[in-house]
Amino acid sequence: MPGGSHTKLNLTAGIEKATDATLSEILLDNFVNFYDWGLLDKGGFYTISIPQSGIYGGDRHKLRLVDTPNYTAGRVWEGYRQNWVWEGSGNIDGVAQQPIDISGVYVNGTFYATGNVTKPFYIDYPLGRVVFDTAQPANSNVQVEYSHKRVQTLPAEGVSWFRQLQQNSFRNETNFQFQGSGGWVRLGETRVQLPAIAVEVVPARETKGYQLGGGQWINSDVLFYVMTENHWEAVNLIDTIVAQNDRTLTLFDSTKVAQSGVSPFTFENGKERELRGHAQASGLYPHLVDNYAYRKCWLYNSRAENITQLSTNLYMGVARCTTEVGPV
């Protein structure tokens, strides 16, 4: 091989190829998953049974027909909230109440189980949809029992398409069942329903030597943009984030997870969509940490910044922490 170590590119320890996930990408994946799982595990979900109405009315168990350029009209039906719980009943040990496992859908009063051949469909958990193999009439009555997460956790950068905040997504008593009206007129891929936490990693803010002969600690800042419709909810989430100060997390290796195939989702057009039956325990956040560990990460210097009211019923606050990972 030509050249020596002086001609080689330094990569983060544990990273073998330039195309593998870097430390910043690993931190982002881990913090999104940590808070998504952590809030769910502490009871951060709502269960929608049949029948189910909101405090202002509306039928939360009924789905609406989606007008989307990606599918034939009549195939896609969505709930009033996205981010359906896929982790599965029995896997949440932080609370006694468990989320619903979706066993099938009702179409015009007839139940069709998951995996049926008469009216096959799959569940799009991230976008909160039922996608049929064939189009259903526009006047169909499609109903489903499911659970959805209270908080949407996502990367602040690199999200698909151009996204807009959707306010009043819990108020499905008006406009929800009407195409072309209300906040649901936006494509599901472009919505961020509140409350939401958007995570940003500031790469390698500082490095410190580990020992004579090599190795270094890498310090990076992580920012959490908290967006809510209520001031108390912004305070609640920011306090929760800051409360993680002075603790150590085990990071999972994003590249190894991707190569392992443990994700409970299959893919369609490059997007995570269909769940392979019920959730695989191997794809849950605690199992990713246990089976695909990368490095220890210390969280410190957690703090909050001011909460700002941007408009009526729209609040934004920022929490941040510093992470130390090493030796790398």
DSSP state of 102: P
What is the model's pLDDT at position 232?
Answer: 95
State which of 88-92, 271-275, 285-289 shows the largest mean pLDDT.
Answer: 285-289
Comparison of pLDDT for 30 and 258, the residue scoring more: 30
Is the pLDDT confidence value at 265 over 80?
no
DSSP-assigned beta bridge partners for residue 220: 323
Tens-digit pLDDT profile for residues 174-198 = 554 445 444 445 554 567 889 999 9
* Confidence band, pLDDT 50/70/90 cuts, at residue 162: very low
Q: What is the pTM assigned to this prediction?
A: 0.84
Q: How far apart are CA 20 and CA 157, in angstroms?
A: 19
- What's the distance, CA 238 to chain centroid? 18
Cβ atoms of 300 and 324 within 8 Å: the answer is: yes
Sign of CA dihedral 64, 67, 72, 73: positive
- Calpha distance 266→286 (Å, rounded): 20
Nearest one of 147, 146, 196 to 169, comparing CA atoms: 196
